[in-house]
Structure 1
């Protein structure tokens, strides 16, 4: 099949990561893929070496004719079987191009906050396929009146090669950060914001550090609370066992350095890509039992689901995961779980199956 992906968002968001991963998954599965993307943006750079033909363009809004011209030009070159969109600002342009060129369109919705009244009603009904990225998100759309038959679920695909365990890379990263090679490393990957549960995690980690001297914590990400969490760490007793790396463009190598990943959100999450990527690298996950997060792991098999905001429960779970046999057994199961449910191979096949389902 031939696909034209359209995503001119210049920012590195979860939806952008999904856009890139799904496009790459379709190429790996043998399909022909072109993409209309923001010129020199992160999406374009990530797709450059993937066998995807790039058409640079910008959609500022639904009235931006330059975006229409670029999309129509790309479609006439490729003659796609499907248009694919990931970002709200392009829903209506893609629906209009779909009607103009008689090419069906598949649209993904990554957020649960409602669209405007008109868009919320019409977009799922006018797109030939409308996708949620979790069952939790799908239910949110159904609760707003979207007919069940119009909302399909397709999870984020994960490249197993990018996330595979790498003992040498682990050793190199630990050495660079001054972390002992026998350390137990818990990692946080994401936005530094209170809604992500970072303060709960800090309290839990420091409580666990009083009992486990090998425990270190690696923080990857940035956000409005980065300075505040850094100041709390510096004021505590274990500052030398915390490692704040800030924003990392490619976090995949760092998963190999983790003994476990923490996903401590206290606000509802639509999905939880970092949970799946960490498991693909053989790191079990401690995750909040909230929103779509439980769909990213097998509870008590590849990780643990915990009450959001409950620091004592998180401390106890961290200490449990510090036990080598528990951690290693879950880590092995985690990679197999992701391969069966979220690998690019599985998601590409499922995407085509849904598109072909009449």
Structure 2
């Protein structure tokens, strides 16, 4: 199959990570893949060393002729069977290009906030395939009147090798933090803002530290509330056990340092890629029971679901996963779970079957 992906969004987002992973998954599966992407952005960097042919372009809006020119140039060379898009600003350009090129279009929607009324009605009906990245997101579109047979679910693919546990990396990261090999590391990675549940997580972790002297919290990320969180940590007796590293471009090595991952959002999440990546590294997950997060783990087997913002419940769960026997069993189960449900070969095959089949209904 020949696939032309179009993703000219320069921002560092979950949708961009999904774009890179899906492009690589389809290329690794043996399909002929090209991509029209923003020059030197996250997507470009993620695909620069792949065997995917890259074309530079920017779609500033639906009328940006330079974006269309890049798509048509790539299409003339590849003669694709499908055009694939990931970002809202390119939905209409791809639908128009698909009509002009007589090539079917597959679009992914990563957000649950509604599109403008006309787009919300027409885009799922004009695209040959419209994908949500979780059952939660799919239901949100159905609740707004999109017919069920128009929306399929395809989860984020995860490269198991990229997330593989590396004991040497773990030792190096722990050493850089001044921690011993017996440290228990609760990891958080993501945006630092209130909706992500960072403050209830901080309170829960700090309370757990009072009972578990080997527990440390490793915070990866930045955002509007990062400074407030740092100041709160500095005012506690456990300040030295909260480690803030700021924004990390490549977080994959840090999964090896985590004993457990916290995904504590109190605002709805469409999915939860970091949850899946952590489990691929053998790290059990503590996740909020909200939005698409429950779809990322096998509850009670690879991690635990907890009430969003419930400090006492999160403290107890953190202490529960301080048990090395439980962590080991959950971590092993987590790797198997991701391999079976989210690994790149699995998702690439599901995507291929979806594109080759008829437009079909609910998962």
1-structure distance, mates of 2:162, 2:238: 32
Displacement after TM superposition at 1:40 (Å): 1.3
Match of 1:22 in 2: 22
SS of residue matched to 2:24: helix
Displacement after TM superposition at 1:115 (Å): 0.3
1-structure distance, mates of 2:41, 2:274: 22
Displacement after TM superposition at 1:41 (Å): 1.2
1-structure distance, mates of 2:153, 2:224: 32
Displacement after TM superposition at 1:137 (Å): 0.2
Alignment of 1:38 with 2:35, yes or no, is: no
Match of 2:84 in 1: 84
Correspondence 1:289-300 to 2 at 5 A: 289-300=289-300
Correspondence 1:27-66 to 2 at 5 A: 27-66=27-66
Alignment root-mean-square deviation, CA: 0.5
SS of residue matched to 2:278: helix
1-structure distance, mates of 2:48, 2:145: 40
- State the number of aligned residues: 358
SS of residue matched to 1:10: coil
Match of 2:156 in 1: 156
Match of 1:186 in 2: 186
Displacement after TM superposition at 1:58 (Å): 0.3
Alignment of 1:105 with 2:105, yes or no, is: yes
Deviation by residue 1:105-148 (Cα, 9 ceiling, x = unmatched):
10000000000000000000000000000000000000001010
Displacement after TM superposition at 1:185 (Å): 0.3
SS of residue matched to 2:282: coil
Alignment of 1:267 with 2:275, yes or no, is: no
Match of 1:4 in 2: 4
1-structure distance, mates of 2:263, 2:111: 18
Match of 1:280 in 2: 280
- TM-score normalised by length of structure 2: 0.98
Match of 2:198 in 1: 198
Deviation by residue 1:29-72 (Cα, 9 ceiling, x = unmatched):
01111100011111111101111111000000101110001111
1-structure distance, mates of 2:177, 2:82: 46
- TM-score normalised by length of structure 1: 1.00
2-structure distance, mates of 1:190, 1:40: 22
1-structure distance, mates of 2:179, 2:105: 49
Higher mean alpha-carbon deviation, 307-316 vs 178-187, is at 178-187
Deviation by residue 1:206-261 (Cα, 9 ceiling, x = unmatched):
00000000000000001000000000000011111111010111000000100000
Displacement after TM superposition at 1:177 (Å): 1.3
Match of 2:325 in 1: 325
1-structure distance, mates of 2:324, 2:42: 38
SS of residue matched to 1:36: strand
SS of residue matched to 1:58: coil
1-structure distance, mates of 2:45, 2:139: 34
Displacement after TM superposition at 1:83 (Å): 0.4
Alignment of 1:341 with 2:341, yes or no, is: yes
Match of 1:72 in 2: 72
4+ runs of 1 displaced by more than 6 Å?
none
Match of 1:227 in 2: 227
SS of residue matched to 2:137: helix
Match of 2:361 in 1: none
